[in-house]
Amino acid sequence: MLGRTANSLFWMFRYLERAENTARLIDAGLRMALTRDSVSAEEEWRSVIETAGHRRGYEAKNATYTGMQAWNYILRDKDSSASVLNTFQQIRSNAREARSAITSEVWEAVNDSWLQIKDMLARPVGEQRVGEVLTAVRRAGTLAHGAVLGSMLREEGFHFARAGTFIERADNIARIMDIKYYLLLPSLSYVGSSMDTGQWDMVLRSVSGDSAYRWLNAGQIDARGIVSFLVLDERFPRSLAYSHAALRENLAALARIHGIEGTSNELMRESDTRLSGLSIEDVFDKGLHQFLTDFTAANSSIAQAIAQDYRFLA
Amino acid sequence: MAAGEFFDEMHKPDGGVRDAYTGYQAWYGEQEKSFLKRKHRDAETAFRRTGITFNVYGEDEAEERLIPFDMVPRIITAHEWRKLTKGIEQRVSALNAFMHDLYHRQEIIRAGRVPEHLFRNNAAWLPHMVGFTPPGGIYTHIVGIDLVRTGPDEFYVLEDNARTPSGVSYMLENRETMMAMFPELFMRVPVESVSNYPRRLAKSLAACAPACAEGKPVVAVLTPGIFNSAYFEHAFLAEQMGAELVEGRDLRVVDGRVAMRTTWGYKPIDVIYRRVDDEFLDPLSFNPDSVLGVPGIMDVYRAGRVTIANAPGTGVADDKAIYSFMPEIVEFYTGEKPLLPNVQTWRCSDPESLAYVLDNLAELVAKEVHGSGGYGMLIGPAASKRELSDFAAKLRENPEGYIAQPTLALSTCPIFTNRGLAPRHLDLRPFVLVSPDKVDITPGGLTRVAMKPGSLVVNSSQGGGTKDTWVLKD
């Protein structure tokens, strides 16, 4: 496969994952705003904008934080390269670049979603429509992943697509946790009274982990439980541990296909060594914020090493 | 011109249906109107979903547009097709011999059958090709011959697309769409299949591989990239052939071979099916400002270590001034009379012809010698006084740049409209593959149809549509 095509596949799925996570984040914000007073709702949208990495662009155009402004900015601002609309533009043009390396099923899933979402985002999104827009964005991911799993050869292309997915997922989850890390300090759960279960619920919702968490923990919400769920629980497909376990498999498969291990495999092993046997106490001892910073940095060096190992760029 | 002056391929003047269409008509008569209308709408959705779009130059807003698809097939009998095939084979063989001669001994010029100035002043003429024979001796690997019909047995060649003919993906996707929409129709009417075209293309290209190719030749499709109007087709053909779709930035000359950057490192390519123009092939040889080419590719080519299809410099042959000499060219190289006639053509470079063209411009179609895609052409009968006088001024200023032809009474075939069937003018582009082994013509082609009543312009860039083209089995 061409290095450029591998690059397109990798980024196509990074962007897809990013769009999907952004939709989850807005969804969680929406829910918070509906169950809060207006002051904390404003705070919530500020935090959503911050987490999605849009603060500077948003504040250049808006003086206040309201839900309508916030989600319209994140979803469809033309000048923001990270808006969901522009992200989908990127997904589709990467899909076109890689058109001869993806199946018709994958192409049609992505192209259909693009046509639908472009249409939905052609005009401002009001309260009545925001729910269906977010559903459409999440469904775009579901459809594309389903098409990939069901139709693509387990060859290089498949593994580049999956590697892109898990690199981006790990990055996004770590960022969401880091923005809210102060909520997840263990001391708060000892203090007890100031514990804001609504906020924690928001963190879980923004990674679609609320019901999974409740199922596993019988409704008991505390910092320890949530952090250990999001960082260490390999059963949860949006945990850091799961994302990296999956990534490790894709990178191992690539090394097998190529008959040689590269820097990406080496860095992956180092990351595994750091994560395996890690207990929740270790995370808190190190400091959650520090842990997440280190993790994000390691994650992005793996991404760079993949690009290098497989000649994404000339 | 009034209705009835044109040959309609489906309906006879008495309202009956011609032989080619009897099977179709029987089916059509049984269909509910509402069913057909629904299918008519479905077709567009299907095309948009598969992503068969093209980009129109100079239109920012409608960056990707669909070519209108009409669901009434254009049908050709086995007998008609056999005759066309013979004529096309003859013409394409002559074209290839002509290219070889032009870049070698130029016998045809020595014999005084074609004037030298024709290609001396031709921008498509490539000095790099002089004295060089491409692998297998093939210049025109893929040719699209544009045919028009004016009567039961009257087919004319309108153009020879010998550079990089496009549209073959429409031939394939139109058929796929028709089969998906009307499967029962294909059970009733025996139609020759076109779906193996990509396999035939891959085989034909592989047969032209250079001597240094080891094992199964590596074929790649070279595209200018996703912003090119035919990108969809490039990706489609690469996928269907199982070939890599490369851009100039993926390629580099490594150890005297053209190589592509794969995830494994640089890998040599044996055959490049290029969909870029000559001047974007090699910035060292042609266009120092181009970012699309591969520096040094022409040196590798001249060393016989890569095949480029079509060969650089073949553009000479699809120039409209050369076209006017095709009858002489066919006769000179094949020793036979042309089986497929040319359309009568006045070369404005000739003073007498120019005078005739200027006097009769309102009845003629005038075209730029190097133009394509329906740009820069004038259809006399449809032009305003102003357009005619503007064009006449251009002709006087640069007569060598133009040819003129009579306005042909192009045949019609019905399209489906909400009010039922309505005749529209059309043309036909069969796709021809040339290798040292054979000339291979897929039974079918691209039928382009003017969607506006009375219009003679079928080019997609000018609003034309396409139809599925059926060649009936015996």
Choose the closest CB to A311 out of B239, B245, B261. B261
Chain A hits for B265, Cβ within 8 Å: 311
β-pair type (B364-368, B378-379): antiparallel
Chain A, nearest residue to B239 by Cα: A100
pLDDT at A191: 43
Q: Which helix (H) or strand (E) holds B416?
A: strand B412-417
| Structure token pair of residue B256 | 């005297």
Choose the closest CB to B263 out of A96, A97, A311. A311
Query: What's the gap in Å between the CA of A166 and the closest CA on chain B?
Result: 20
Cβ contact, residue pair A2, B250, below 8 Å: yes
Choose the closest CB to B49 out of A5, A6, A108. A108
pTM: predicted TM-score of the whole model, two decimal places: 0.89
Angle between helices A3-34 and A156-179 (to 10 degrees): 30
Three-state SS at B379: strand
| Structure token pair of residue B434 | 């040339």
Cβ contact, residue pair A311, B48, below 8 Å: no
How many Cα atoms sit within 13 Å of B219 on the Cβ side?
23
Query: Which of A4, A92, A107, A151 should be substituted to probe chain B, the one whose Cβ sees the most B Cβ atoms within 10 Å?
Result: A4
Cβ within 8 Å of residue B194, ≥6 positions away = B171, B172, B175, B442, B443, B444
Query: What's the gap in Å between the CA of B202 and the closest CA on chain A?
Result: 15
How many Å apart are CA B303 and CA B325, to the nearest integer? 32
pLDDT at A225: 87
How many Å apart are CA A232 and CA A46, to the nearest integer? 28
| Structure token pair of residue B271 | 């055959």
Chain B, nearest residue to A258 by Cα: B264
Catalogue the long-range contacts made by B211-214 (C-beta closer than 8 Å, 24 or more residues apart): B211/B135, B211/B304, B212/B257, B212/B270, B212/B304, B212/B305, B213/B270, B213/B271
Cβ contact, residue pair A310, B50, below 8 Å: no
| Structure token pair of residue A141 | 């991911």
Chain B hits for A310, Cβ within 8 Å: 263
Give pLDDT tens digits for B333-381.
Answer: 999 999 999 999 999 988 999 999 999 999 999 998 876 666 678 889 8
Chain A hits for B235, Cβ within 8 Å: 96, 99-100
Cβ contact, residue pair A4, B247, below 8 Å: yes
Is residue B435 left, alpha or beta, with left meaning phi > 0 and alpha meaning psi from -120 to 50? beta
Chain A, nearest residue to B240 by Cα: A100
Cβ contact, residue pair B265, A311, below 8 Å: yes
Choose the closest CB to B262 out of A1, A93, A96. A1
- The residue type found at B159 is E
Query: Which of B54, B263, B266 should be substituted to probe chain A, the one whose Cβ sees the most A Cβ atoms within 10 Å?
Result: B263
Q: Which helix (H) or strand (E) holds A139?
A: helix A127-151
Chain B hits for A159, Cβ within 8 Å: none
Give pLDDT tens digits for A120-178.
Answer: 999 999 999 999 999 999 999 999 999 999 999 999 999 999 999 999 999 999 998 88
| Structure token pair of residue B307 | 């095949």
pLDDT at B53: 61
How many Å apart are CA A47 and CA B312, to the nearest integer? 59
Question: A-side interface with B, Cβ within 8 Å?
Answer: 1-6, 93, 96-97, 99-100, 104, 107-108, 111-112, 115, 156, 258, 310-311, 314
Cβ within 8 Å of residue A188, ≥6 positions away = A194, A195, A223
Query: What's the gap in Å between the CA of A297 and the closest CA on chain B?
Result: 25
**Whole-number Cα distances in Å, A15 to A48, A94, A110:** 18, 9, 12
Query: Residue B125 pLDDT > 80, yes or no?
Result: yes
Cβ contact, residue pair A108, B50, below 8 Å: yes
Q: Which helix (H) or strand (E) holds B405?
A: strand B402-406
pLDDT at A187: 63
pLDDT at A11: 98
How many Å apart are CA B167 and CA B145, to the nearest integer? 12
Chain B hits for A100, Cβ within 8 Å: 235, 238-239, 243-245
Cβ within 8 Å of residue B283, ≥6 positions away = B289, B290, B291, B293, B295
β-pair partners for B406: B364
The single-letter DSSP state of residue B191 is B
How many Å apart are CA A160 and CA A156, to the nearest integer? 6
Query: What's the gap in Å between the CA of A1 and the closest CA on chain B?
Result: 5
Chain B hits for A156, Cβ within 8 Å: 263
Choose the closest CB to A2 out of B235, B252, B260. B260
Choose the closest CB to A99 out of B239, B246, B249. B239
Cβ contact, residue pair B245, A6, below 8 Å: no
Three-state SS at A267: helix
| Structure token pair of residue B317 | 């042959």
Angle between helices A38-51 and A3-34 (to 10 degrees): 170
Cβ contact, residue pair A258, B263, below 8 Å: yes
**Whole-number Cα distances in Å, B442 to B173, B194, B197, B232, B315:** 14, 6, 7, 21, 23
Q: Where are the alpha helices (DSSP H) in B112-219?
A: 117-120, 168-181, 183-188, 197-206
Cβ contact, residue pair B261, A3, below 8 Å: yes
Chain A hits for B236, Cβ within 8 Å: 99
pLDDT at B55: 53
B89-93: average pLDDT: 96
pLDDT at B85: 97
Q: Is residue A100 a contact partner of residue B235, using CB atoms and an 8 Å limit?
A: yes
The single-letter DSSP state of residue A213 is H
Give pLDDT tens digits for B9-57.
Answer: 999 999 899 999 999 999 999 999 999 999 988 887 777 777 666 554 4
pLDDT averaged over every residue in chain A: 91
Q: Is residue A69 a contact partner of residue A47, using CB atoms and an 8 Å limit?
A: no
B461-471: average pLDDT: 90
Query: Residue B277 pLDDT > 60, yes or no?
Result: yes
Cβ contact, residue pair A3, B262, below 8 Å: yes
| Structure token pair of residue A309 | 């190992």
Band of pLDDT at residue B60, cut at 50, 70 and 90 = very low
Three-state SS at B406: strand
Chain B, nearest residue to A99 by Cα: B235
**Whole-number Cα distances in Å, A154 to A242, A256, B66:** 20, 12, 33
- List the single range of A212-221, A292-301, B107-116 with lowest mean pLDDT: A212-221
Chain B hits for A109, Cβ within 8 Å: none
β-pair type (B465-471, B446-449): antiparallel
Band of pLDDT at residue A192, cut at 50, 70 and 90 = very low
Cβ contact, residue pair B49, A99, below 8 Å: no
- The residue type found at B206 is A
Chain B hits for A258, Cβ within 8 Å: 263-264
Band of pLDDT at residue A203, cut at 50, 70 and 90 = confident
Query: Residue B82 pLDDT > 60, yes or no?
Result: yes
Choose the closest CB to A93 out of B226, B261, B264. B226
Closest to B155 in 3D by CA, of B78, B80, B92, B89: B80
pLDDT at B64: 66
| Structure token pair of residue B337 | 């009379």
pLDDT at B54: 57
**Contacts A–B by Cβ distance under 8 A:** 63
Query: What's the gap in Å between the CA of A59 and the closest CA on chain B?
Result: 30
Q: Is residue A135 a contact partner of residue A97, using CB atoms and an 8 Å limit?
A: no
Choose the closest CB to A2 out of B226, B239, B261. B261
Rg of chain B taking only CA atoms, in angstroms? 22
Chain B, nearest residue to A310 by Cα: B263
Choose the closest CB to A99 out of B235, B249, B260. B235
How many Å apart are CA B204 and CA B210, to the nearest integer? 13
Cis peptide before B310 (omega within 30 of 0): yes
Q: B428 φ, ψ to 5°? A: -145, 130
How many Å apart are CA A52 and CA A115, to the nearest integer? 24
How many Å apart are CA B185 and CA B174, to the nearest integer? 14
Cβ count near B400 (within 10 Å): 15
> Locate tokens 């520096």: which residue?
B295
pLDDT at B51: 64
Query: What's the gap in Å between the CA of A159 and the closest CA on chain B?
Result: 12
- The residue type found at B237 is L
| Structure token pair of residue B33 | 């109107």
The CA-based angle B51-B56-B59, given to 5 degrees, is 115
How many Å apart are CA B392 and CA B386, to the nearest integer? 10
Closest to A152 in 3D by CA, of A111, A100, A116: A100
How many Å apart are CA B181 and CA B36, to the nearest integer? 10
Cβ contact, residue pair B226, A96, below 8 Å: yes
Cβ contact, residue pair B49, A112, below 8 Å: yes
Angle between helices B231-241 and B197-206 (to 10 degrees): 80
